[in-house]
Structure 1
């Protein structure tokens, strides 16, 4: 049997970390190397594969086309190797991720798949935080978060998880009272339920029915989508929410008002600091989330 020659693993690690961090200087600091030592390791890898992986100009390094191809080919196997070692080692400690999640996303979309994640990465454990201002706490008290946003702040690594439609959701009794077609006089007498952090959803819905200046008798504000759904089911008002939440709730008490196609200003996003992707817990969760398509 022919024994294949393995690539220099330290050089491969230097290459992978440089690509993921987007900076040779940051990669050198992470690996506790001097910039010249990092450059030598990458040069050794280039010599091994016989390809120029980076272009070098002063202190900047950019992937060549062959470098991109090499990364795309190697990255899945690099992660598979890490998982294999992780699964066979009794000495590795738990991998801990501090994740911010909105409760409704957690209950409807994340938790139904957590057993699959645990089976794939048994050492990965997640501390769940459903507190306020998740985006502001990423990089501080949180490693990463799943947020509802028009678009995350610059400087964050962000992955858009969906696009949604805005629906008006209520009980059967309220739906019967409101009728099948928008009537401003009738709607003005209703109570609307609005999420504190998603006010523009109501604006988009009013625009869609041609009633931008609609002034309902009351607007009740919530900081929980789960409670909004329950309040709507109990007949306490009309919840302005995403169609996805209505579908996933699968609650016969809930009904949609009118037949409208209203684009939501907001989407769910996974966010973290770019450097956090070098943290194995963040990377494992990020890659699983994107692949799972929750």
Structure 2
């Protein structure tokens, strides 16, 4: 039986990465290619299929209808191929990832989804580290990390995971006491609760309510997001955290203080050294993380 002619696998990989990451630049970075090399691979795939998979405007690549249909058919087959190859390589060997994760992200976002990852990659096991200075320990005691930061160091490969608002979070009783609108006199008598990873969030929030010079009674700092939220629930102060932290807590004791939108200076990122993307554990986790939209 004759062997059918296959498209260039590297070109297929480049195509799928661009679609999944939503950016040609991000795909090029992940594959350690120049933008022109990535474009040549995609062009080779278009020549092979006879289809225009992307429209190109300046440096942007937008998926066409034909490109979307091609992706819908091809992507699942590539996953099957990857799983088939994986099943024949290092059979039975545990793949171990040393991952740094902020404890609140781990509890609210990562752990509820880990069963999905285990089902997809049963040999992948993760050592979780919730200690301080995660970014500084990448390449030493950590293979990769989820960090809460304005932006990681330029030397790292990074993927932004979200974009958040700053919320003032209090107990329901304190929300009733402070009322629906900012009151300088009342706020100046309060304790504010700040996470060490979000030092400038209070300044952003005070500016948004028009009280940049507000001096509270105290600012208490924590290295644990769970403890910040628990302190707020116990009525110990006003927690300055993210909208996502508030929603995912599902804590009926908590309430948002005031209906004011404040852009956060911080966001969650996945980071690792570019060369570590070739490591099987890092590659598997990164691929799942991006696909899952965690």
Q: Same fold (TM over 0.5)?
A: yes
Aligned-pair CA distance for 1:64: 5.9
Structure 2 partner of 1:65: 39
Equivalent positions of 1:96-107 (< 5 A) are: 96-107=96-107
3-state SS, counterpart of residue 159 of structure 1: strand
Equivalent-residue separation in structure 2 for 1:265 and 1:284 (angstroms) = 30
SS of corresponding position for 1:199:
coil
Match of 2:241, SS?
Answer: strand
Is residue 207 of structure 2 the alignment partner of residue 207 of structure 1?
A: yes
Per the TM alignment, residue 70 of structure 1 is displaced from its structure 2 partner at its CA by 5.4
Equivalent positions of 1:199-278 (< 5 A) are 199-278=199-278
Give the Cα–Cα distance (whole angstroms) in 1 for the partners of residues 136 and 293 of structure 2.
25
Deviation at 1:84, TM superposition (A): 1.7
SS in 2 for 1:251: coil
Q: Work out the CA distance in 2 between the residues paired with 1:8 and 1:151.
A: 36
The runs of 5 or more residues in structure 1 that have no matched partner are: 24-59
Give the whole-Å Cα distance in 2 for the aligned partners of 1:145 and 1:115: 19
1:125–1:69 distance in 2 versus 1, CA, 3 Å = farther
Q: With structure 1 as the length reference, what TM-score do the two structures score?
A: 0.78
Q: Check if 1:22 corresponds to 2:38.
A: no
Give the TM-score normalised by structure 2.
0.78
Q: Cα deviations across residues 192-249 of structure 1 (Å, max 9, x unaligned)?
A: 1001121111010000001111110011100011111111101111100001111111
Gap regions ≥5 residues in structure 2 = 18-27, 46-52, 54-70
Q: Which residue of 2 aligns with 1:180?
A: 180
For 1:226, what is the secondary structure of its paired residue?
helix
Structure 2 CA distance, aligned partners of 1:70 and 1:82? 22
* Residues in 2 aligned to 1:132 and 1:19: alpha-carbon distance in whole angstroms: 28
- The 3 A distance-change label for structure 1 pair 234 and 20 is closer
1:89 is displaced (CA, Å) by 5.9
- Cα distance between partner residues in 1 of 2:163 and 2:170: 22
Matched, 1:108 2:108: yes
Q: What is the aligned length?
A: 254
Counterpart of 2:132? 132
Structure of greater Rg = 1
SS in 1 for 2:98: strand
Conservation of the 8 A alpha-carbon contact between 1:187 and 1:216? yes
Question: 1:140-186, CA deviations, whole angstroms, 9 ceiling, x for partnerless residues?
Answer: 11110001110111110000000000000010121122111101111
**Cα 1:70–1:136 shift into 2, 3 Å:** farther
Matches within 5 A, 1:18-167: 22=32, 63=37, 65-69=39-43, 80-87=80-87, 91-167=91-167
SS in 1 for 2:200: helix
Q: Distance in 1 between matches of 2:219 and 2:225?
A: 15
Distance 1:102 1:19 in 2: 25
Instruction: For residue 169 of structure 1, give the secondary structure of its aligned residue in structure 2.
Output: strand
